[in-house]
Structure 1
């Protein structure tokens, strides 16, 4: 049972929510805390109008923050009571969270909670170390428990298709001036996630066939020399529908998968380029994912690279 007061549990949840992964580290969320209820809001000032015009990636990011808060509330000894999109008149209010009955968190919840501040996004190749099939199956179950599907892409041909579409999308985006300007504006935030150190401008060495975004252009930081070049396990996170509610569910599933993977020494690298172009995303939905809507493409693997701390918005900036 909880030894923390309700207001302490809610404050701990909000503080932890800041550590969720987000599109290009934009951290596009704010929180309200009043009358023993957390309100999770989309910070539309941090939306990417070119890359993410519909706000899909923004809501996935906020969904990840929601799962993080749910996990911490359980660790604090309470059952979280969540309402998704509770007020149609306030579309930026994505969820509310209140405290339910007192509970004893199980070991799995404590393990997830312990990874919240340790988990880091990877932006390069992986070591040539296999990811156990049993672990992949547990990640599939984690995503399913949040209303999404994690599908490991086993066929080399299918992996080749995903890699080719990722390269094509990145090449097209590189020729799009508005997209390029937006990427440059996001570079200081996104580059902070790479563990980069001041040096000559150079991108980390990617896995074969899976390009990374070039955040180092015109910036004086650089990732260390990479020796890990394996692709890891390529996987897609999909949902049956494609509404804001499903985007939030995808974000919760994503964070559940990432925390569970991190607890077993597995990191993730993200490749969203093809999903940001409607025709390519629709092609993937129809041809590879049985009509389900792809929300995230990632690679999962082992890395021995050291990741530096990821800067976070200070609590007073995100707590209204």
Structure 2
């Protein structure tokens, strides 16, 4: 390999890691770290950022890391490389989730460029949406995006099913809000106004005065913990529920969780390109009995990995992320 090619690959590897850190993660915990050795990127889970109460098995941690993996893949493709990915390559190293190498590829197609452009623009929404329906052709396209990564996006078209999901979410929120240990864990990732931290959920990203969504009300996390935090910006004034959807996988292994994360991010980036944001509701999926109920009653016995609402919103709040230098080790 000549010097120029070596420098170009080094640049691509660095750009891929810089793209990875913009992935969504549960409570913006950013539970990943990367190592680079030559042209190989290693993606590892960061156990120090795992939610030990809400996520004891690490399912949400691996979904978050799967989203970061997808960003890595799409960034390399946007630079003209084909990512060679090995998932869970070493059974003796449980935290090593994937290795990625850039291989000779082709010029990126239009869809790759479309997704890549949304990596830093995508935002997580934490309130209601404008009263505009998500177009049916876009819904079908989002379903296809999830399928391309081995997962299923299930739009909830039945009002009764949407009401059930809202009720189960509210029940889970009530149970968790009364758990002192759970609340202590949440407080680690709830940032007060003016915080300079580059992880966790900033106070400006959720409404100071929550408004119930309609026609179904989905309970929101109480990041303010009873304090007068939150934002009163216009982006939080809308109250429509939006399109309710559940992301599922046929199995529930570590491979499935990584596939769910990649599918989730592919869906989110495609949606973002058309002005659609997502609000996540993971409460019911953190309680085994409720997750089993949803699997058996609403998900055709597939495993629910994410409950979300999709819709149009004025998402202008800046996202916070740790810089790539904080999560990257050079070997």
**Cα deviations by residue, 1:2-50 (Å, 9 ceiling, x for unpaired):** 9971111111000110000000000000000112100000000000000
How far off its partner does 1:307 sit? 2.3
Which consecutive unaligned segments of at least 5 residues does structure 1 have?
none
**CA–CA separation in structure 2 for the residues paired with 1:195 and 1:7:** 35
How far off its partner does 1:99 sit? 1.1
Any conservation in 2 of the 1:123–1:212 contact (CA below 8 Å)? yes
How far off its partner does 1:124 sit? 0.3
**CA–CA separation in structure 2 for the residues paired with 1:64 and 1:175:** 31
1:310 aligns with 2:324: no
Which consecutive unaligned segments of at least 5 residues does structure 2 have?
192-198
Runs of 4+ in 1 over 4 A off after TM superposition: none
Selected match of 1:151 from 149, 154, 158: 154
Any conservation in 2 of the 1:193–1:310 contact (CA below 8 Å)? no
Following superposition of structure 1 onto structure 2, how do residues 136-215 of structure 1 map, counting pairs within 5 Å? 136-188=139-191, 189-192=199-202, 194-195=204-205, 202-208=208-214, 209-215=217-223
Following superposition of structure 1 onto structure 2, how do residues 9-28 of structure 1 map, counting pairs within 5 Å? 9-28=12-31
Which residue is 2:99 aligned to? 96
How far off its partner does 1:98 sit? 0.3
The alignment covers a number of residue pairs equal to: 314
**CA–CA separation in structure 1 for the residues paired with 2:315 and 2:85:** 36
Selected match of 2:127 from 113, 124, 129: 124
- Secondary structure (helix, strand or coil) at the match of 2:244 reads strand
Which residue is 1:45 aligned to? 48
Any conservation in 2 of the 1:204–1:222 contact (CA below 8 Å)? no
Residue 60 to residue 216, structure 1, CA distance change in 2 (3 Å): same
**CA–CA separation in structure 2 for the residues paired with 1:263 and 1:90:** 37
RMSD: 1.7
**Cα deviations by residue, 1:199-228 (Å, 9 ceiling, x for unpaired):** xx9354342410100101265632215331
**CA–CA separation in structure 1 for the residues paired with 2:37 and 2:292:** 41
Selected match of 1:293 from 303, 320, 326: 303
Selected match of 2:237 from 227, 250, 260: 227
TM superposition score normalised by structure 1: 0.95
